[in-house]
Amino acid sequence: MATNDLLAMIGRQQDETEFYTPMPTGYRKGHHKYVVVVGTVMSGLGKGIFSSSLAKLLKDKGLTVAPIKMEGYLNIDSGTLNPYRHGEVFVLDDGMETDMDLGTYERLLDQDLGAANFTTNGQILSSVLKKEREGGYLGRDVQVIPHVVGEVKLKLRELGVKSNADVIFVEVGGTVGDYENSFYLEACRQLAYEEGENSVVFVSLTYILEPGTLGEQKSKAAQLGIKRLMEVGIQPHIVACRATHPVKEKVKEKLSMYTNVPMKRVFSMHDVDSIYVVPEMLRDAGMDREVLTLLNIHDRTDQRKEDKARDDWRGFVERINKATHDVTLAVTGKYTSLRDAYASIIKAGEHCSVHLGVNVNFRWLDTAAIDASNVDKRLSGCDGIIVPGGFGARGTEGKIECIRFARENRVPYLGLCLGFQMAVIEFARNVCGLKGASSSEFEPGCQHAVIDILPEQKKIEGLGGNMRLGGKEVDVRPGTLAAALYGNAAKIRLRFRHRYEVDPQYIDRLEARGLVFSGKHPTQPIMQIVELPTDVHPFFIGTQAHPELTSRPLNPSPFFMGLVRAAIDHSRQRLAVAAG
């Protein structure tokens, strides 16, 4: 085509319409519905808990649901964020590093998610600029409206196609009024306009203040926050009110009047003992039925599926806080002052506590303050020890001392990622006599780099200089503790996030002294599970993976179930000795 003809065609396309509605191949308008959850007043109120709980109710009814978290920061993913900023990095099965809220969705929905379920402003803008460089906008000046918000809409619709979801749950990070969220809010407003009636439900999750000096609930901040949402053209259909205590009728009436939301759609999401009771709170309030009505999809539900799912969930919830025994697990890391840095470990412990009828109490220990002189005192009274994942040298010597204590005193031990590597180093030093054994991550010139990045391993699966991320197959050695934990399965799938491996040249020497590598890569000499035989130690196991990421309420992690069972036995023995 001649240049003049191309320019003429572009000119005609620009003159034809100002609408910009990119549609992915296979998109079924009218089939895919949306629930958009937006926060006001302040962040951190539990948008993810509300959204995932409501999504669970619709999934229980037989509907296919797909969540997406939209973050306002310019990072491409959450992988480089300090835990003190956003809590733990949650890794999805396809390797996407995300916000910890994705863990809430996976746990409540019992559903593996992927990169399509998470986006950031960085991803959106990168995609727009890439298309601009490739001539994807036919010569138009690229702007926030329509092109950036159009990319957001495309992302949501692509998720609908990929997941074939009946309902897509869209969580907009932060709060209304944040500059970085303006793209997302405008995109969702346009989405509702383009999709038509009964296609998009907007939920405003707000906060009801309850100043102690006043002794009453105040709704003004909530009113102003929702008004801000309405000012950008979004009328909420449901208002969810976070509060310390149940929201009073008077407060609901004020919110209903000021927001045009019927009273039956103003929901009290007050503090409860466990987030796992929130789905039933929503069900009792009729929020699931209201959403079905607003989206006009009652005919897609299956009552039999809902009855079974509800019974299964109720059986789990009714066992919460019914424990008859206590165990104490020490979590020995370097972010222990921030519980969100280990959120999935806490949740995995909760899952096991319900299934095993025991209170799992965590003792948080900063290993930077632990050494050989005080490790016995710091770990005294613990029934199990966890060394979690992490990066960098700070606190590693303290971790090694904790592992030595666990090994020598037969205290149940679970090493996660770095905890796996530290267990190998501890054994190399103190059992194999390899003085100076360490990792090249924090001691590049050490005498025995039993943990290292190997050139041949860097080529595997296209690793290059990047981390090994996401779900990977693991071959399990028969007759080992790892095999017993997984019902004698020969192959399991675990989720990884690491760079360093056990150097294969040390494997024979380590195993000759009694260390067992019970799980490894199916085709390469990459060790992924390590343990001590059960006749040597009651429970001593580590994995290069992060099994806490895949623990679910109705299906707890086998690694954690094994640890808590062993901790129960240890606790009873400890109490028996103390008694007598």
Q: Buried b vs exposed e over 547-556: b needs ≥16 C-beta within 10 Å?
A: bbbbbbbeeb
| pLDDT, averaged across the chain | 92
> Within 10 Å of residue 392's Cβ, how many Cβ atoms?
10
pLDDT category of residue 140 using cuts at 50, 70 and 90:
confident
- pLDDT band at residue 459 using 50, 70 and 90 as cut-offs: low
Work out the average pLDDT over 264-279.
Answer: 94
* pLDDT band at residue 12 under the 50/70/90 scheme: very low
- Assess whether 417 carries a catalytic annotation: yes
Rounded to an integer, what distance in angstroms lies between the CA atom of residue 5 and that of residue 9? Answer: 6
Residue 124's CB is within 10 A of a number of other CB atoms, namely 22
* Res 455: pLDDT: 62
Task: Tell me the pLDDT band of 19, cut-offs 50, 70 and 90.
Answer: confident
For 399, counting Cβ atoms within 10 Å of its Cβ (0-12 exposed, 13-18 middle, 19+ buried), the class is buried
| Over residues 422-434, mean pLDDT | 96
Is the pLDDT at 4 greater than 50, yes or no? yes
| Residue 330 · residue 401 · CB < 8 Å | no
Per mean pLDDT, which range of 76-80, 337-341, 484-488, 565-569 is the poorest?
337-341
Task: Give catalytic status of residue 188 as yes or no.
Answer: no
Strand duo 200-207 + 238-243: pairing: parallel
CA distance 527 to 522: 10
The pLDDT value given to residue 6: 46
Task: Check residue 160 and give its pLDDT.
Answer: 97
Looking at residue 7, its pLDDT comes to 46
Given a cut of 80, whether residue 462 has pLDDT beyond it is no
What is residue 213's predicted lDDT score, i.e. its pLDDT?
84
**What pLDDT score does 460 carry?**
54
Question: pLDDT grade, residue 515 (50/70/90)?
Answer: very high
Q: How far apart are CA 457 and CA 446, in angstroms?
A: 20
C-beta neighbour count of 444 within 10 angstroms: 10
Name every residue whose Cβ is closer than 8 Å to that of residue 548 and which is 6 or more positions away in sequence: 344, 345, 347, 348, 416, 557, 560
* Residue 456's pLDDT band (cuts 50, 70, 90): low
Strand order in the sheet with 238-243: 118-120, 65-71, 167-172, 33-39, 200-207, 238-243, 266-270
Show the domains of the chain with their CATH numbers. 37-316 (3.40.50.300), 326-451+507-516+531-579 (3.40.50.880)
Mean pLDDT within 130-149: 89
| Predicted confidence (pLDDT) at residue 11 exceeds the cutoff of 50 | no
Look at 535 and 577; give whichever has higher pLDDT.
535
pLDDT above 90 as % of the chain: 79
Residues 111/90, Cβ–Cβ less than 8 Å: no
Confidence of residue 303 (pLDDT cuts 50, 70, 90): very high
Degrees, nearest 5: CA angle 131-135-136: 50
* pLDDT band for position 558 (cuts 50, 70, 90): very high
Average pLDDT over residues 459-479: 77
**What pLDDT was estimated at residue 463?**
44
- The pLDDT value recorded for residue 393 is 74
Average pLDDT rounded to a whole number, residues 152-163:
97
Residue from 401, 339, 384, 307 nearest 538 by CA: 384
Residue 344 pLDDT > 50: yes
At 387-422, the pLDDT tens digits run: 998 877 787 899 999 999 999 999 999 999 999 999
The whole-number average pLDDT for the span 551-556 is 97
* pLDDT beyond 60 at 14: no
Element (H, E) at 316: helix 303-317
Q: How confident is the model at residue 466 (pLDDT cuts 50, 70, 90)?
A: low
Q: In the numeric block, which tokens belong to residue 170?
A: 């869209």
d(CA 517, CA 499): 18
Cα–Cα distance list, 391 to 61, 82, 492, 543, 549 (Å): 42, 11, 26, 16, 17
* Active-site residue identified among 86, 498, 546, 570: 546
73: its two tokens: 């920061």
Q: In what order do the strands lie in the sheet with 527-531?
A: 359-366, 326-333, 384-387, 413-416, 540-543, 527-531, 516-520, 468-476, 491-498
pLDDT (average), residues 48-67: 97
pLDDT class of 187 with cuts at 50, 70, 90: very high
Strands 65-71 and 90-91: unpaired
Q: Tens of pLDDT along 224-242?
A: 999 999 999 999 999 999 9
Angle at 456 between CA 451 and CA 458, to 5 degrees: 75
What is 157-210 written as a DSSP string?
HHHHHHHT-SEEEEEEPS-TT-GGGHHHHHHHHHHHHHH-TTSEEEEEEEE-B-
Which pLDDT score is estimated for 458? 57
**Is the pLDDT confidence value at 154 over 90?**
yes
What distances in angstroms separate CA 549 from CA 171, 343, 544, one per listed residue?
A: 20, 9, 13
Residue 306 predicted with pLDDT over 90: yes
Catalytic residue check, 546: yes
Confidence class for position 30, pLDDT limits 50, 70, 90:
very high
Catalytic residue from among 417, 432, 531, 537: 417
Coil, strand or helix: which one is 472? Answer: strand
Q: Is the peptide bond before 146 cis (omega within 30 degrees of 0)?
A: yes
Q: Is residue 547 within 8 Å of residue 557, measured between CB atoms?
A: yes
Mean pLDDT along residues 69-95: 89
Give the predicted TM-score (pTM) of the model. 0.91
